[in-house]
Amino acid sequence: MKTLDFASLTRRGAIGFGNVFLSIALLVTGGLAVPARAANPLAGSGTPAESTGPAAPSEVPATALIQPEALAKILKSGQAPKPVVIQVGFHVLYVQAHIPGSEFIGPASSAEALRKLGQHVAALPHTQLIVLYCGCCPWVRCPNVLPAYAALQQAGFTNVKVLYIAHNFGTDWVDHGYPVAKGD
Amino acid sequence: MRSSGTGLLIAAGLLLVPCSAARSAASAAERPTVAAARPLAPEFSLPALNGKQIDLAKYRGKVVLLDFWATWCAPCRTTIPRLVKLQKRNRDRGVQVIGISLDDDPRAVRAALRQFAFNYPVAIGDAALAERYGGILGLPVLFVIGCDGRIEHRYDGETDLEVIERRVETLLKRERCKAAEPHH
């Protein structure tokens, strides 16, 4: 376990002071930093899905948010370079409906998913536009987007956006008629 | 429309999706907001992690609360202890709670079973089951199924359990509930 300084994230507004106590230590796994807060009170020790207490997405700075309509326009425009879109929610949701071309990583409140995230972005330039999204729960209760965002910030990625999903993926993306793919 | 606000969630509960319609394949406009005919709850048979096989058909004659949840879902964790209490209060009154976890990892669910002392059966669901229930594109989702096996209501998001209990009371008083013969 390696302890890293989280203050830089705090200064940049990525992690608010209200959550610093949960984020003091970072467990480095697979090249990405896993916030120490990512310990699931529901999972026993040693379970692979050790995940989360609340990791408030409100700590994601407003400048890092992207609205569904804006992302849909980008995807429709086919602009180059294409954003790398990553789903950090649960697999059953991904199989039912996901943003076409997005990569499934898994609930980023777990160390395992953050390891996968690290592997997935390892070869990307740090300026690459990466869009994270979940949609598992109402925005204020989503445990997955903040750990993923913080991990990418910590890894040095400078162009990371988080899709703002107010209610859930069904309501805020599928119901709006934005493009959807199914299956793995 | 769904929201983390209780009032809107209650309103959202009035949304009832036909069982046969894959939600992700239908726009909001195509989906009825009120069921013209209360659809039969899709039957399933799944092994419970904390008991025997769960055969939905065997609960015909009872009011069933079918809760889709996940261990890392904060609103789900809030709801579970309330469902445990509800089950305890109403077990002898023909009410059965069933939990369907949409976790990716069963070990996290088993840990949760120990932590929350579930007094109702819990199984792990998949995308196919989720789609048969109209799509579970956000958590939690709770279905109230009448004694005749038909879906009465769907509640998306964190819902006031008092509202659900009132609904259950109404169902228990219905003549067809009283007439229905439990299979076990």
Question: What residues of A are in contact with residue B71 (Cβ under 8 Å)?
Answer: 40, 42-43, 49, 51
Between residues B146 and B33, the one the model is more confident about: B146
Q: pLDDT value at position B142? A: 97
Residue A3 lies in a domain: no
Q: pLDDT value at position A162? A: 98
Q: pLDDT value at position A56? A: 75
pLDDT digit string (tens) for B18-74?
333 334 333 433 333 444 578 999 999 999 999 899 999 999 999 999 999 999 998
Domain harbouring A104, CATH code: 3.40.250.10
Residue A25 lies in a domain: no
pLDDT digit string (tens) for A143-152?
999 999 999 9
Residue A45 lies in a domain: no
pLDDT digit string (tens) for A8-59?
333 333 333 333 333 333 333 344 544 433 332 222 223 333 333 456 788 8
Q: pLDDT value at position A168? A: 95
Between residues A53 and A155, the one the model is more confident about: A155
Q: pLDDT value at position B18? A: 37
> B108 and A49 in contact by Cβ < 8 A?
yes
Q: Does B127 touch chain A (CB under 8 A)?
A: yes
Residue A45 Cα, gap to closest chain B Cα (Å): 9
Residue A151 lies in a domain: yes
Q: Per-residue pLDDT averaged across B77-85, rounded?
A: 94
Residue A162 lies in a domain: yes
Q: pLDDT value at position A79? A: 83
Q: Coil, helix or strand for B80?
A: helix
Q: What is the pTM of this model?
A: 0.76
Q: Per-residue pLDDT averaged across B104-111, rounded?
A: 92
Q: pLDDT value at position A131? A: 98
Q: pLDDT value at position B23? A: 45
Q: pLDDT value at position A140? A: 92
- CA A15, distance to chain mean position in Å, is 14
Question: What residues of B are in contact with residue A144 (Cβ under 8 Å)?
Answer: 72
The answer to whether residue B8 scores a pLDDT higher than 60 is: no
Please name which of A21, A143, A128, A164 lies closest in space to residue A88, comparing C-alpha atoms: A143
Q: Per-residue pLDDT averaged across A132-140, rounded?
A: 94
Residue A71 lies in a domain: yes
> A143 and B111 in contact by Cβ < 8 A?
no
What value, to the nearest 5°, has the Cα angle with vertex B2 and ends A181 and B8?
A: 175
Residue A1 lies in a domain: no
Total number of domains in chain A: 1
At A63, the pLDDT band (50, 70, 90 cuts) reads very high
Q: Per-residue pLDDT averaged across A69-98, rounded?
A: 95
Between residues A80 and B135, the one the model is more confident about: B135
Q: Which domain holds residue A161?
A: 56-176
Residue A88 lies in a domain: yes
Q: Does A97 touch chain B (CB under 8 A)?
A: yes
The answer to whether residue A5 scores a pLDDT higher than 90 is: no
**Partner-chain residue, chosen from B70, B102, B138, that has the shortest CB–CB distance to A135:** B138
ipTM of predicted complex: 0.76
